[in-house]
Amino acid sequence: MEKEIVRSCADCAGKGCQNQTGENRPPFCLTDNMDPAVKQAAMAEYKDPVNQKIMTTAADVEFDGYCQWPRIQEIVEFARRMGFHKLGIATCVGLMRETRIAAKILRSHGFEVVAVGCKAGAVLKTEVGIDERCAAIGTNMCNPILQAKLLNEAGTELNIVVGLCVGHDSLFYKYCDAPVTTLVAKDRVTGHNPVAALYTAESYYGRLFGKEQAE
């Protein structure tokens, strides 16, 4: 028996939510079928002064640099327009060269930069219950919660992720006091360009699909 698929935005090709006419919206369109109370509650959050400033500043940066600025430049502009001075970087130690370059660029624009590598604290993986076999690729654990707490202690106003592992990044976001943006999404196989695997999923990376592949 074929498993029923709950349709959502991932199954839409019309992108009818980009207009106000209602055109190109499938029957399962979330815009037309969501609980109005949930939408109302979300919109109310933008009245918070911090949320409103982040939202409007992000929109200004997107517009002014549209298809012109690389992401690091967008981060510079966003941080500057938000009035931030102290920026944090949570980095994978395997991307320290990239972090040094990013810090150099940020400092050249007058920002104070505090970076914390993922192995800070030098704690063995086994101390938190990680299987001993994982020590074959490094004995010390990544420590995203410590990265967040050290940046919180430093009083950073915006934190930037550079290549934290899947899941470790989730914990970092969870424990940060300051807003977080991602500069680099780690993907060792594709040169840290995760969408490369998606672009080739129907050819070279067809093996990514599981047994329950459906249209």
**For the whole prediction, is pTM greater than 0.75?**
yes
Q: Are residues 64 and 130 in the same domain?
A: no
CB 90 within 8 A of CB 172: yes
Q: Are residues 39 and 102 in the same domain?
A: no
Q: Are residues 55 and 108 in the same domain?
A: no
Q: Are residues 130 and 159 in the same domain?
A: yes
**Which of 68, 90, 124 delimits the end of a domain?**
68
Q: Are residues 81 and 179 in the same domain?
A: yes
Q: Are residues 94 and 149 in the same domain?
A: yes
Does 134 fall in a domain?
yes
Does 201 fall in a domain?
no
CATH number at residue 160: 3.40.50.1860
Q: Which domain holds residue 52?
A: 30-68
**Cα(194)–Cα(199) distance, rounded to whole angstroms?**
9
What total of structural domains would you count in the chain?
2
Q: Are residues 56 and 81 in the same domain?
A: no
Q: Are residues 64 and 74 in the same domain?
A: no
**Which of 68, 96, 117 delimits the end of a domain?**
68
Q: Are residues 64 and 104 in the same domain?
A: no
Comparing C-alpha atoms, which of 100, 144, 138 is closest to residue 118? 144
Per-residue pLDDT of the chain (215 residues; tens, 9 = 90+): 567 889 999 999 999 999 999 899 999 999 999 999 999 999 999 999 999 999 999 999 999 999 999 999 999 999 999 999 999 999 999 999 999 999 999 999 999 999 999 999 999 999 999 999 999 999 999 999 999 999 999 999 999 999 999 999 999 999 999 999 999 999 999 999 999 999 999 898 888 999 877 55
**Which of 68, 87, 120 delimits the end of a domain?**
68
Q: Are residues 60 and 163 in the same domain?
A: no
**Cα(133)–Cα(138) distance, rounded to whole angstroms?**
10
Comparing C-alpha atoms, which of 162, 158, 126 is closest to residue 144? 162
Does 120 fall in a domain?
yes
